[in-house]
Amino acid sequence: MTITAAADGSALGNPGPNGWAWYIDDDNWAAGGSPHGTNNQGELRAVLELLRATAGSDESLLIMCDSKYVIDSITKWMPGWKRRGWRKADGAPVLNRDLMESLDEAMQGRDVKFAWVKGHAGHDLNEAADERANAAAKAYQAKQEPRRGPGFTLGGDASTGSASAQKSQPMWAEASSLLDVFEVPEGSAASAIDLHVTLTPDEHARLRDRAQAQGISLEQALRRLI
């Protein structure tokens, strides 16, 4: 079986508030973004987040993009960039190096193919990803939390729930569940609790996006969730 997905990015102003999204179907998609970024950064991030979300799957992956820059970067140019220490043939540094290095790592050991599709041409998956990426960019423009989607839930056990499905629950639910571990007797004075939380890369990315949208630190964003 091959998982077929579309990945797309959007930027209002380019650079400006930007968004990213990947889409498989209505039960498997995700979106996010940042208050300031480029369209290319959104396109790259969409592919990266798709690779991370499906990392636990044994299925091959077909990613449809309307950005030849993204496809060529990963499938043609990246080996040369790495040999030259992440520099282009003319010696100039590679743009978006942090995303490129993360993509290179996420591609290791994966069976991934890319296909170019023309944007805004009625392709169902591409249109769905584009709509969600653009909505995320508009949310950041309005300083609001974007719709992040259910994440990757394919292959989960309906009786117990897959790890991916569990990770995709709203972050406020994740944070609230942490507090269920602690019981403070009624009427007693509350004391500070030293709490250490381990986040998955997906959870950290969502927390970072939330903090950036609100202009606060990661710690402040987590405290607000709790």
pTM (2 d.p.)? 0.72
Give me the residue spans of the domains in the chain: 2-141, 169-183+192-225
Count how many residues are written for the chain. Answer: 226
- DSSP states along 133-174: HHHHHHHHHTT-PPP---B--TT--TTT--HHHHHTS-HHHH
pLDDT, position 21: 98
Give the list of residues 6+ apart from residue 102 with CB closer than 8 angstroms, or none: 48
State yes or no: pLDDT of 202 exceeds 60.
no
Average pLDDT estimate for 71-82:
97
**In the structure, what pLDDT confidence band is assigned to residue 208 with cuts at 50, 70 and 90?**
confident
Give the list of residues 6+ apart from residue 145 with CB closer than 8 angstroms, or none: 139, 210, 213
**In the structure, what pLDDT confidence band is assigned to residue 81 with cuts at 50, 70 and 90?**
very high
**In the structure, what pLDDT confidence band is assigned to residue 120 with cuts at 50, 70 and 90?**
confident
pLDDT, position 215: 59
Give the list of residues 6+ apart from residue 196 with CB closer than 8 angstroms, or none: none
Average pLDDT estimate for 115-144:
96
- CA 202 to CA 209: how far, in whole Å? 11
Tell the residue number behind the tokens 């992956």, with chain if given: 61
pLDDT, position 34: 96
pLDDT, position 62: 98
Name which residue leads in pLDDT, 203 or 94. Answer: 94
**In the structure, what pLDDT confidence band is assigned to residue 223 with cuts at 50, 70 and 90?**
confident
Instruction: Give SS3 for 28.
Output: strand
Query: 52-74, pLDDT tens digit by residue?
Result: 999 999 999 999 999 999 999 99
Can you read off the two tokens belonging to residue 2? 């091959």
Residue 27 CB neighbours (<10 A): 12
Residue 54 CB neighbours (<10 A): 24
Q: Which residues are catalytic?
A: 8-9, 43, 66, 120, 130
State yes or no: pLDDT of 193 exceeds 90.
no
**In the structure, what pLDDT confidence band is assigned to residue 156 with cuts at 50, 70 and 90?**
low
- CA 139 to CA 146: how far, in whole Å? 5
**In the structure, what pLDDT confidence band is assigned to residue 12 with cuts at 50, 70 and 90?**
very high
Average pLDDT score, the chain:
82
- DSSP states along 69-96: HHHHIIIIIHHHHHHTTSB-TTSPBPTT
State yes or no: pLDDT of 46 exceeds 50.
yes
Please, what CATH class does the domain formed by 2-141 belong to?
alpha beta
pLDDT, position 213: 55
Average pLDDT estimate for 34-49:
97
pLDDT, position 53: 97
Lowest-confidence pick of 18-27, 166-175, 207-216: 166-175
Burial string for 134-147 (b: 16+ CB within 10 Å, else e) reads bbbbbbbbeeebbe
**In the structure, what pLDDT confidence band is assigned to residue 219 with cuts at 50, 70 and 90?**
confident
